Amino acid sequence: MGVERFSVNGVERSFESSDTDSALDVVRDQIGLTGAKRVCEAGACGACTVLVDGAPAASCLMPSDTLGGRRVVTVEGLGGGDRLHPVQRAFLAQDAVQCGYCTPGFVLAGVAFFEDWRAEHGTGVPPESEIRAALSGQLCRCGCYLRILDAVREACAGRYDDGDDAVAHRHETLEKVTGRAEYTTDVRYPSQLEGVLVTSPYANAVVREMDDGAAAGLPGVRAVVRLLPEGGRIRHAGQEIVAVAADTAAAAREAAAAVKIRYDHSPAATSMDAAMAEGAPLVYGPKDRKSAPSAGEVPVLFPRRRWRGNVCSPAPPLAGRAARADRAVRRAFEEGTGAGQEAAPRAEGAGQGGAVVDGVWRTAGQSHVPLEAHACVASWDGDSLTVHLSTQAVSLVAHAVARRWHLKSDQVRVLADHVGGAFGAKQGLTAEAVAAIELSRASGRPVRVVLDQRAELAVGGHRPASRTHLALRTGADGGLTALRVEAFADTGTALGSDIAKVAGLLYPGAPRTLRDHSVVSHRPPGKPFRAPSGPPAFWALEQAVDEAAHRQGRDPLELRRAWDTEPVRRRLYDWVATATPWPERGPVAAGGGPVRRGLGLAAAAWYYYLQPRTKVRARVDTEGVEISVATQEIGTGCRSLLVSVFADGLGLAPGEVRARIGDSRLTPGPLAAGSSTTASLVPAAHDTLDRLRRRLLATATRELGLRAAAVALDGIRHAGGTVTWREALRLAAPTEVTGRRPRDRGRRPEPWYSPFFGRGQGAPSIVQVTEVEVDERFGLVRVVRTWCGLAVGRAVRPVLATTQCHGAVIQSIGQTLYEERLTDPATGLTLHTSLENYPIPGIGDVPEITVDFVPGGFDHVAQQAVGLAELAALATPASIGNAVFHATGRRMRSLPLDPAQLLGEAE
């Protein structure tokens, strides 16, 4: 340790340097400049970037004692005084921010490029390739890259040099581009402790003995709690056993290393194949099966399930419609296509001039890795508990906490001001929260627990890998006569998968048998991930349909038009013919040479979920209107949606409307799941707006003695003129109204696992056309361009909706081309330790993306507002697979499309 001096954001400061700390430890933890984020700690993600003597540097890999005498600039120090840097302004105006966790790093890398560019080229427009290279060290899991490219380019070109600060598309962008936004990982109470988890290196074991006495006695250690008792069962490597809290993270890590645990470990089932093998070790016994968590969006609801070893299946239907369909499907296939075995893909004439397309399709596990890891800061105050949590479900978690610790609902408060990405992985009460709450109770101090990235990759969540046997039968006229889908999901210790069911969403009419199996193994539980079960379903189905078209010598678009009667999607097929290059598509594998281009098409549909009990409150005070609801912003822009409803509806500037969310004490609001936030919030907000206007009408009429007054667009019309909404608000303040989400017209939404979640009528749909380039020499695929046509009623805020779609496409490109969770077969350890070795798409991998919202449909939903965050994740993989087939004439069956598979050298 030594005291050294450096300049940070223009101020000379002293800091404690040590030979173990990184520059990030100094800047973020010692000085409190939390705009610099800690994510991979391996130089791979760029979230910790700071400028050192003008050059971007990975502060997580920079030793703290090399900072002495240097000039450091963090995102907090950009711009001058109250003025933002042009790059920051460009980020506001170009909607270049989703969850915002990567934003400080991108802004700094953008500023470094901007300054170099300006020095050499003035306000010339930089070529895209140079911007991509300059930003190549920044990763964005939300997939905001295209917006960021636009922002940096436009800033360099001088578009944001002067003028007022640009108007942001999102409510919270200003906080995010300046590093002021406080995420859970940034929360710091004065006496806060750091908590660390001790996890199991074994996949299948029993904890025999624990000795945590030595750890508890180490200096700085304030609490040690056991998350699993002696005799407790370990079902996957990385399972949490003990938690330790100490004054500093280093002391807590040291204490964690001092905890001695003796295990009885046994052989583990570390893959789906191993778990299905004869004599495989069982993950659950008959008694503890109920404890398995859910890997799907909803709890596991098999009415009748049957276990065989580690495979959990629905019992086959005995009677009724499903049984009749089963028989019809069996007849259509005339037995023996063997969907149960590894049937080699084939297509053969099966009588009556039709054909069977039958094959096995695989997808690898995909980790969520939101840039902000699972994180919790818990603080007890007597019997009340405040929990800052990186979550997509403040209300739901507050209920779960109250239940688990036997608290009344007003004793628990869950807060999530900003959430650095979630994608489905942050819906429940997970280990980091349990540990923080217990440690805080034991120590009497606030405690922060943040998963390190190795833990995030191991246990933070993943989309289960899958194997889907799909067979479709066509009749003599080329129509679809039967569909059989049997899907096995590699769910780890969790249960639940709907791949086959989802594959049945398209092409209504033909009889179908859809069976979903969960295969449990000694690996961390799968979790819902953006459109759970969707991508594997359409990866199989839409390539099989493409294959059927190819066999019939028909245009895949025409075949879909013939098979698919759903009016919403038929409009999308028309869109393909007019808005994409599909009509000019040539024959399969036409190009010569090693680098080939291809065009692929895929369709997909999803459920329309909503949370019918959503309410929104509006409070009018002297400063304007405050909207509040217990929901949370994970990068979708829901604050902005709320603000825009009221700003537009009352003729106010967005600055006059404040949105308060991220607090479980507020009016009950939606969790961010199933693309249901928009569909829940927007209609509820409009209802609140209507009530508020009526309230304003009543007060204004009374106070001003208006005659013949009525609500109009611009205010209150009355016999003597118009009272603007702004005036009416002033008259009414203070007042408060609460609106609720109106029911959809027509048939009621089916309640879906709880009264809080419903599934409405109609199927939001997408049709996607993608162009790829395949390099046959190296087995590499690059996505060049993609066109997405979406039928989602009405896109409420098209700019934000488009940014969301970019994200879904880009995450999906990751799934299709790069991402594959690897488990060591011998030990069951998840091999990835950080974004250094878990490859998500970077800025160089992002194609041009065109998003069109094809209007119409969903007239039964107020505002025609249905969600779309998941749609573009559904069709991307199959559209790429079909494009690769078009380019090469070869059909890829496994995700990701790695070079081994492309080169025909897979193991």
| CB of 342 vs other proteins, minimal distance in Å | 19
Residue 47's binding partner among other proteins, ligand FAD, ligand FES, none (Cβ under 5 to 8 angstroms by kind) is: ligand FES
905 binds other proteins per the rule CB under 8 A: yes
**Least distance from ligand FES to the Cβ atom of residue 47, Å:** 5
152 makes contact with other proteins (CB under 8 A): no
Sole binder of ligand FAD in the list 7, 18, 30, 43 (CB under 6 A): 43
Q: Tell me how far the alpha carbon of residue 314 is from its chain's centroid.
A: 28
Among 134, 156, 450, 709, binds other proteins (CB under 8 A): 134
Whole-angstrom Cα Rg for the chain: 28
Distance CA 369, CA 374 (A): 9
Task: Assess 228 for contact with ligand FAD (CB under 6 A).
Answer: no
CB under 6 A: which stretch of 36-44, 163-171, 361-369, 690-698 binds ligand FAD? Answer: 36-44
Q: Determine the interface stretch with ligand FES among 37-45, 110-118, 192-200, 442-450 (rule: CB under 6 A).
A: 37-45
Angle ∠(271,871,756) on CA atoms, nearest 5: 85
Looking at 23, 26, 39, 795, which residue binds ligand FES (CB under 6 A)? Answer: 39
x-or-dash string of contact with ligand FES, 90-129, rule CB under 6 A: -------xxxxxx---------------------------
Size of site (CB under 8 A) for other proteins: 70
Give the β-pairing of 512-520 and 480-492.
Answer: parallel
Nearer to ligand FES among residue 635 and residue 669 (C-beta): 635
- Cβ neighbours, 10 Å, residue 279: 6
- The closest alpha carbon to 47, from 142, 117, 157, 126, belongs to 142
Residue 335 burial by Cβ neighbours in a 10 Å radius (0-12, 13-18, 19+): exposed
For residue 836, the minimal CB distance to ligand FAD (Å) is 6
Of 42-50, 151-159, 423-431, 432-440, which segment contacts ligand FAD by CB under 6 A? 42-50
Return phi, psi of residue 715, to 5°: 155, -150
Q: Which residues contact 162 (CB under 8 A, 6 or more apart)?
A: none
Number of residues that bind ligand FAD (CB under 6 A): 4
Among residues 26, 36, 62, 347, the one that binds other proteins under rule CB under 8 A: 62
DSSP designation for 817? I
Rounded alpha-carbon distances, angstroms, from residue 508 to 476, 567, 605: 18, 12, 12
Per DSSP, 544 falls in state H
Round to whole Å and give the CA distance between 383 and 565.
58
How many residues would you count in the chain? 907
For residue 664, what are the contacts with CB-CB under 8 A and spacing of at least 6?
394, 395, 397, 398, 412, 413, 414, 415, 630
Query: Measured between alpha carbons, how far is 508 from 514 in angstroms, rounded to an integer?
Result: 13
Q: Rounded to whole angstroms, how far apart are CA atoms 159 and 156? A: 8
Q: Is 30 in the site for other proteins (CB under 8 A)?
A: no
* Beta carbon nearer to ligand FAD, 36 or 275: 36
Q: At what angle do helices 103-121 and 86-93 cross, to 10 degrees?
A: 120
**CA–CA gap between residue 106 and residue 729 (Å, rounded):** 40
Minimum CB distance to other proteins, residue 60 (Å): 8
| Chosen residue from 182, 273, 776, 836 binding ligand FAD by CB under 6 A | 836
Q: Which residue minimizes CB distance to ligand FAD?
A: 43
Among 180, 362, 782, 860, binds other proteins (CB under 8 A): 782
Q: Which of 574, 504, 489, 491 lies closest to 538 in space, CA to CA?
A: 504
Residues 6+ apart with CB under 8 A from 755: 612, 613
Residues 607-666 that bind ligand FES (CB under 6 A): 635
Residue from 400, 836, 850, 889 in contact with other proteins (CB under 8 A) = 836
Using a 10 angstrom Cβ sphere, with 0-12 exposed, 13-18 middle and 19 or more buried, the burial of residue 504 is middle
Check residue 290 and report its DSSP letter: G
Q: Which of 454, 512, 527, 619: binder of other proteins (CB under 8 A)?
A: 454
Least separation in angstroms between residue 328's CB and ligand FES is 47
Report if residue 44 touches ligand FAD, rule: CB under 6 A.
yes
Distance in Å, CB of 46 to ligand FAD, minimum: 9
Compute CA distances 774 → 498, 887, 888, whole Å.
32, 7, 8
Does residue 839 interact with ligand FAD by CB under 6 A?
no
In the list ligand FAD, other proteins, ligand FES, none, the entry touching 142 (Cβ below 5 to 8 angstroms by class) is ligand FES
What is the rounded CA–CA span in Å between residue 695 and residue 682? 20
Cβ nearer to ligand FAD, comparing 42 with 698: 42
DSSP strand pairing (780-791 vs 848-853)? parallel
Question: Pairing mode, if any, of strands 49-52 and 55-58?
Answer: antiparallel
Residue pointed to by tokens 């009272």: 723
Residue closer to ligand FAD (CB basis): 41 or 438: 41
Interacting positions 420-439 with ligand FES (CB under 6 A) = 421
Residue 795 binding other proteins, by CB under 8 A: no
712 Cβ neighbours under 8 A, 6+ residues apart: 722
Q: Judged by CB under 6 A, does residue 478 bind ligand FES?
A: no
For position 115 contacting ligand FAD by CB under 6 A, the verdict is: no
Minimum CB distance to other proteins smaller for 19 or for 278: 19
For ligand FAD, the binding residues (CB under 6 A) are: 42-44, 836
Q: Would you tell me which residues interact with other proteins (CB under 8 A)? A: 1-2, 19-20, 22, 41-44, 46, 49, 52, 55-58, 60-63, 65-66, 109, 112, 132-134, 136-138, 201, 237, 454, 594-595, 773-775, 777-782, 817-818, 822, 824-827, 829, 831-833, 836-837, 839, 841-845, 898-900, 903, 905-907
Which residues contact ligand FES by CB under 6 A? Answer: 38-41, 43-48, 58, 60, 97-102, 140-142, 144, 371, 421, 635
